[in-house]
Structure formats: C-alpha cells, structure tokens
Amino acid sequence: MAILNDDVKKVLQNAGMWVLATATPNGVPNAVPINFVQILSDSQIMLVNNAMKKPSSISKIIPMWL
C-alpha cells in the first residue's frame, strides 16, 4: 500500500484543479479534471469530480484507496 509523505500531502492540499489520467488494460486513455481532494489518512485520499462520465470504469482501472 502506498504511503503519502508530507511533500505529496502538501501538493494535494494546495492544488486547485488537476487532471487525473488513467488508461484501460488495452491502452485506451481517459483523463478527468479533479477539483477536490481530501486526504483521509497516510494511505487514503478521496477524489471528487463532478464531470466524470465513467466513474465505474475508472474505479475498475485504479483502486479508489491508494
């Protein structure tokens, strides 16, 4: 399980809006704007994107809890 260090937490807390890019196992890319990040613990973050059209496909590609 990944651990968020202080530098990563600082970047996440101070970022206004950023892009989360993923790809399917077949290499099909997808990118969504992320406009809210909540750090829940040293190993968990919550991402909120109101414009996401494919939330179920994204969650299958990447775990929502790092």
Q: Looking at the domain assignment, is residue 66 inside a domain?
A: no
Q: How many domains does the chain have?
A: 1
Q: Does the global pTM surpass 0.75?
A: no
For the beta carbon of residue 8, count every other beta carbon within 10 angstroms.
14
Q: Which pLDDT score is estimated for 38?
A: 85
Q: At 12, give phi and psi (nearest 5°).
A: -65, -40
The per-residue pLDDT for range 19-34, each reduced to its tens digit, is 888 888 888 888 888 8
Percent of the chain with pLDDT over 70: 71
- Between these two residues, 54 and 7, which has the higher pLDDT value? 7
Indicate if the pLDDT at residue 64 is higher than 60.
no
Q: Looking at the domain assignment, is residue 43 inside a domain?
A: yes
Indicate if the pLDDT at residue 11 is higher than 60.
yes
Evaluate whether 66 touches 3 at the Cβ level (below 8 Å): no
Evaluate whether 37 touches 13 at the Cβ level (below 8 Å): yes
Domain span at residue 42 reads 6-61
Q: Looking at the domain assignment, is residue 1 inside a domain?
A: no
